[in-house]
Structure 1
Amino acid sequence: MKNVLLLIVIQGVFACQTTKENVAPDANTRIAATQAITTYYVSTTGSDGNSGSSASPFATIHKAAQVATSGNTVIIKGGTYEITSPIMPANSGTEMAPITYKAEAGAEVIVDGKLQVPADKVGGLFYILNKSWIVVDGILFRNSRRDGIQVRNSTGITVQNCRAFNTYASGIIAAGSSKIKVLNCRIRKACQDPENIGTNECLTIASTTDFEVANNTVFDRQFAPGAEPNNGGEGIDCKNSCTNGKVHHNTVYDLYRVGIYVDAYQKNLSNVDVYANTVYNCQAGITVASEEGGTALGVKVHDNLVYDCKRVGIRLAGYVNNGPLQDIDVYQNTVTRCGFGTTGTWENVGLLVEANNPANRNFNIRNNIFAGNAQQMRTRDQTYATIANNLVFGPTYAPGTGSINGDPLFVNASTNDFRIKSGSPAIDRAAGTPLSTVDIRNQARPLDGNANGTAVGDLGAYEHIP
């Protein structure tokens, strides 16, 4: 009888071992990864000597940032976290298992630098340096002595649903990085440094590849005329060696400088798509430039609404060192009521094509609406600029070829509703390439707006829905 029992035990062990050995290696990896995932908690009533569990939370985000590893989530409970040094994650995640720092659902989480952090004006309140695959979600960063969030030399970073308020430099900046997303964030009163130190821009993407800046609101950087404290301060800026980026569905307003700026600066910038943004009450709406000699190549500006900008709506700039702009497409934008905030005779215009570097090539400007500006379009008669098939309503220095003259018939310009009404001369008039497949609202194009049996795209940012 004893021998029988021994045999059963041995068989049981053997069966168990066989089952384990037959598990596929990738399945074992998934099991181990699942077991390793940990959620840490942070609370203003916690202690950094705690375990970081929900019942025993840490007191500081800094502590969680030192222990969180790939696949971990750090949930931050509501309250104000006054910090004395930047929060710097010690570890990276992976593409399939990022590290996530997020506000607890329904809670307001505030990280406050009290205008003392970072003391040396390097980095930001949340400073991601040489790391990868991190998500920052739903946190307000305020009163920074430099940036709200700074990402540098990093990969796979997503900043979403965050806010930045009253920062000396950028609310959010990514530099020297790749695979960056800034989504649904709100940046107010950035670039406020009173010491006249270069502050970059409110939302800055610099020398970064494969990026997306979408659904953000950037606003409220205004000063009395002549009283601006420092240089910089544009709304959203893609600069230097940026490549393969999208800037779309953002709202930018009430800024002392340019709303959206694409600037090659000293390096080569390429393949940046600026579309479906709304920019108003800035000095200038959207500008493509090369201030210091780098080449801006393959920039598209389309389906944007720009209005009430004081100096110029859309500008292909030739200022400072007037570097080369090549293969620039400006199409199906609506630009109105711009150019009334200056007494000059050059910048008071809806579209300004001033770039005239000998290496410039292939400017394609078509199917836009320029209406009700101080001047509609102004150029330097550049032979490489094709300006065709735009609706022009009001005084214009350079009408281009095939212009359509007439009131665009906005639905209600007095309430800033710049959709076009039935009977608008902009309906079913788009021609040439490129053409948009959706408008500023993601409405599919083309539609048969005039009900003649043929669907043709409309001019301007809005496709008329019959």
Structure 2
Amino acid sequence: YTHTDIERLEWHFARQYLIGITAGSGGTVSTTGGWYTAGERVTATATPSNGYAFVCWEGDVPQSVVDPYAARISFLADQPHGLTAVFKPEVTYYLSTTGLDANDGSASHPFATLTNAVAQATAAYHSANAYTILIENGVYTNGNIQITVPLTIKSRNGLDSVTLVDSIVIGASTGSTAANVALYLNADGIVLDGLLFRPKTYPTGNTTSGPGRAITAVKRAIIRNCAVRDWQTAGYSVDGIVALAGGSILERGEMINCIVRSSGGQPRYGIVYVNGNASVIDTVITNCSLVAQTSSSGSAIYAGGTAVGSLLVRNSLIAKCTSDRSGNTTTTLGGAIYLSGANIKAVLENVTLADCSDVGSGVGGLNVASVASVAARNVLFHGNRNSATTKDVGFASGMAAKCQFDTCAFTESVPAGVSGSGNVAVYVPFVGGGDYHLVSSPAVEAGASLGWALDAEAKDLGGAPRLNASRVDIGCYERELTAVECYIVEAYNTGAFEPVTLAYTARVIGTNVYNPTYTWVLSGSATDTLSGAGALSYVRTLAAGEYVLSLAVTNGDGTVVSAPTPRTISIYSDSIYVSLAGSETLPYNTPATGFRTLGAA
């Protein structure tokens, strides 16, 4: 460049980081890295050569990479990193229902039992190799198997093709030892993939014997694409059916129709029991229960003890889980997720926590008993309650101040003690009938754009793209928007007794929301209609009575849609009647509509 006259030069700077990505011998990587602008996405995929297996990523692996054993990783550049994809020669043993344990475990001469396959792989183990046990379709029965070397145990054809039946029967009060579990994982790098677990015996009621745990991971194990269904423990035997510690990861898993039983003064905790660092990702925990003990808590996830530092729950559904503490009036127990450890730093992201209950006076949803911190982002709390009232979240003394809730949704109102930004109330967010996909509501297009969700390949729990609109949704599922959708948002109301001033606002979303017009219809104790392009809000002062407010929106193309849930409005009179002939109907302000007893009034 040559100056020809007086010139102005401006230097523009961008903060960039050097990301180095290399492949160890035995494979390749999709990129070798380079200079990345701060906040730019880095994506790398490791591919093994023939005869090799990808093991893990090593080096300065970013903290945002939850699973370093996944071949594809993606993260945002925030500092320099140096990563290496580790490959090792693959040694594979085969397992088949037609095999024999006297065989050599080759593809043509497979083993018959998982117990023997693990024993043979352990005996042959050398750290220079990667060992896999590949299981053909079928049902296999095993007792206690303790794994002490890094093995990958996987089905050839994915979940539901292979069932592992646990033959262990333990007594009540036996405890959570290494021998009282189907698979005891005691080495970093163990991977379980595509396995269904079920017990051989099913206890009836709170019996004194039954199966112990399905899985205990005491070191960093990856439990991927696995399911535990219809598992019931006996008496007061073990905490949890799957136990996680050591940085273990439960991902793309299922825990369905499981029961942990207690008895007398022996509480047991958690369907997933966390007593060390752990992550639960892309997982479904539904229809699970803790029964027969008034102190049991954590009917889906229990995290407790000083060994728990970090707990991540992401992109998961927890629904219809119950702590049965019948007769107990303690308000600080219960909870589908129960956190009780002074060192716990819990992160909950895009979780749907719904329809969970405490049969007692405690917490139905998230119960924070003791933590260092909780960060909840894009979490949808709905329909969680105790025996008397809605209870989405609960805090022990001093714990609310350690919790931050951002862009979360709650049942009908944001609970007391919840601090943060962007939180909303929802009335009917779900399709219903056990389907937790979203309908139009304040939970749609209301979530924060978290780093992992901005990955082009990020999926919701059902496999739909996370980035299918301008913003991600709150909860574990994304709604696929139609041309135009609408819902009602309550801006404010002045109370429950007449006269009440109410203000509602229409929110319109979709792929074609050009030039909308609005039609509000009030029915019930009084009728009213408001329509037009400027009728975005509906504000009225109403007398005592029962009303239904509905909303329809028409876009510029003439497409008409209705809000999925008309709003029911109940307003009470300041004078309530009691009459033996009363019909007990709102507004209870005449002898004909009054209550029949003073107690009811």
2:271 aligned partner: 235
Separation in 2 of the partners of 1:32 and 1:334?
45
Equivalent AA in structure 2 for residue 220 of structure 1: N
Q: Which of these residues, 171, 174, 181, is aligned with residue 217 of structure 2?
A: 174
- Decide whether the 8 Å contact of 2:287 with 2:319 is kept in 1: yes
Moved more, 36-45 or 154-163: 36-45
- Decide whether the 8 Å contact of 1:47 with 1:58 is kept in 2: yes
Equivalent AA in structure 2 for residue 127 of structure 1: Q
Q: C-alpha displacement at 1:302, in angstroms?
A: 1.8
CA change 1:463–1:90 in 2 (3 A) is same
2:407 aligned partner: 367
1:67 aligned partner: 120
Q: C-alpha displacement at 1:188, in angstroms?
A: 2.5
Q: C-alpha displacement at 1:127, in angstroms?
A: 1.4
Matches within 5 A, 1:63-462: 63-68=116-121, 89-92=122-125, 94=127, 97-104=129-136, 107-113=137-143, 125-129=144-148, 131-137=149-155, 138-145=162-169, 146-152=180-186, 154-166=187-199, 168-175=211-218, 177-178=219-220, 180-190=221-231, 192-194=233-235, 196-197=236-237, 199-206=238-245, 208-209=246-247, 211-222=248-259, 231-232=267-268, 234-239=270-275, 241-242=276-277, 245-257=278-290, 258-261=298-301, 263-270=303-310, 272-283=311-322, 286-290=336-340, 293-297=341-345, 299-311=346-358, 312-318=363-369, 323=370, 325-339=371-385, 342-343=387-388, 348-354=390-396, 356=398, 362-371=402-411, 378-379=415-416, 381=417, 386-393=419-426, 407=427, 410=429, 412-414=431-433, 416-421=435-440, 424-430=441-447, 437=454, 439-441=460-462, 443=464, 455-462=470-477
CA change 1:457–1:252 in 2 (3 A) is closer
Number of aligned positions between the proteins = 348
**TM-score, normalization: structure 2?**
0.50
2:46 aligned partner: none
Moved more, 36-45 or 139-148: 36-45
CA change 1:249–1:43 in 2 (3 A) is closer
- Decide whether the 8 Å contact of 2:250 with 2:279 is kept in 1: yes
Q: C-alpha displacement at 1:158, in angstroms?
A: 0.3
Separation in 1 of the partners of 2:312 and 2:228?
21
Q: Deviations over 1:305-324 (max 9, x none)?
A: 12221134532422xxxx4x
Q: C-alpha displacement at 1:186, in angstroms?
A: 1.4
Indicate the SS of the match to 2:403: strand
- Decide whether the 8 Å contact of 1:390 with 1:459 is kept in 2: no
Equivalent AA in structure 2 for residue 132 of structure 1: P
Equivalent AA in structure 1 for residue 381 of structure 2: V
Equivalent AA in structure 2 for residue 235 of structure 1: I
Equivalent AA in structure 2 for residue 171 of structure 1: A
Separation in 2 of the partners of 1:52 and 1:98?
16
**TM-score, normalization: structure 1?**
0.63
Q: C-alpha displacement at 1:38, in angstroms?
A: 6.1
- Decide whether the 8 Å contact of 1:147 with 1:170 is kept in 2: yes
Q: C-alpha displacement at 1:55, in angstroms?
A: 5.6
Q: Where is the helix percentage greater, Structure 1 or Structure 2? A: 1
Indicate the SS of the match to 1:67: helix
Separation in 1 of the partners of 2:124 and 2:432?
51
Separation in 1 of the partners of 2:444 and 2:109?
63
Q: C-alpha displacement at 1:217, in angstroms?
A: 1.1
Q: C-alpha displacement at 1:97, in angstroms?
A: 3.6
Separation in 2 of the partners of 1:282 and 1:248?
18
Q: Deviations over 1:269-306 (max 9, x none)?
A: 12x3211111112126642512xx54102x21121112
CA change 1:232–1:445 in 2 (3 A) is same
2:498 aligned partner: none
CA change 1:185–1:41 in 2 (3 A) is closer
Q: Deviations over 1:216-243 (max 9, x none)?
A: 111223489x87996435222322x31x
Separation in 1 of the partners of 2:419 and 2:135?
50
CA change 1:263–1:310 in 2 (3 A) is same
Q: C-alpha displacement at 1:458, in angstroms?
A: 4.2
Structure 1 unaligned blocks of 5 or more: 1-25, 69-88, 114-124, 394-406, 449-454
Indicate the SS of the match to 2:394: strand
Equivalent AA in structure 1 for residue 274 of structure 2: C
Q: C-alpha displacement at 1:109, in angstroms?
A: 3.1
Equivalent AA in structure 2 for residue 269 of structure 1: G
Aligned CA RMSD, in angstroms, stands at 3.8
Identical-residue share of aligned pairs (%): 16
Q: C-alpha displacement at 1:412, in angstroms?
A: 2.5
CA change 1:141–1:364 in 2 (3 A) is same
- Decide whether the 8 Å contact of 2:241 with 2:260 is kept in 1: no
Equivalent AA in structure 1 for residue 188 of structure 2: T
Equivalent AA in structure 1 for residue 380 of structure 2: T
Q: C-alpha displacement at 1:249, in angstroms?
A: 1.4
- Decide whether the 8 Å contact of 1:234 with 1:255 is kept in 2: no
Q: Deviations over 1:328-375 (max 9, x none)?
A: 111212222221x524x6xx4112233526xx8642112122126xxx
CA change 1:31–1:151 in 2 (3 A) is closer
- Decide whether the 8 Å contact of 2:230 with 2:257 is kept in 1: yes
Equivalent AA in structure 2 for residue 204 of structure 1: A
Equivalent AA in structure 2 for residue 183 of structure 1: R
Q: C-alpha displacement at 1:251, in angstroms?
A: 1.1
Equivalent AA in structure 2 for residue 314 of structure 1: G
Separation in 2 of the partners of 1:220 and 1:202?
11
Equivalent AA in structure 1 for residue 270 of structure 2: E
Higher RCO, 1 vs 2 (CA within 8 Å, ≥6 residues apart): 1
Q: C-alpha displacement at 1:187, in angstroms?
A: 0.9
Q: C-alpha displacement at 1:98, in angstroms?
A: 2.2
Q: Deviations over 1:141-176 (max 9, x none)?
A: 323232121112x1110011112212622211101x
Separation in 2 of the partners of 1:205 and 1:251?
16
Equivalent AA in structure 1 for residue 229 of structure 2: R
Equivalent AA in structure 2 for residue 181 of structure 1: I
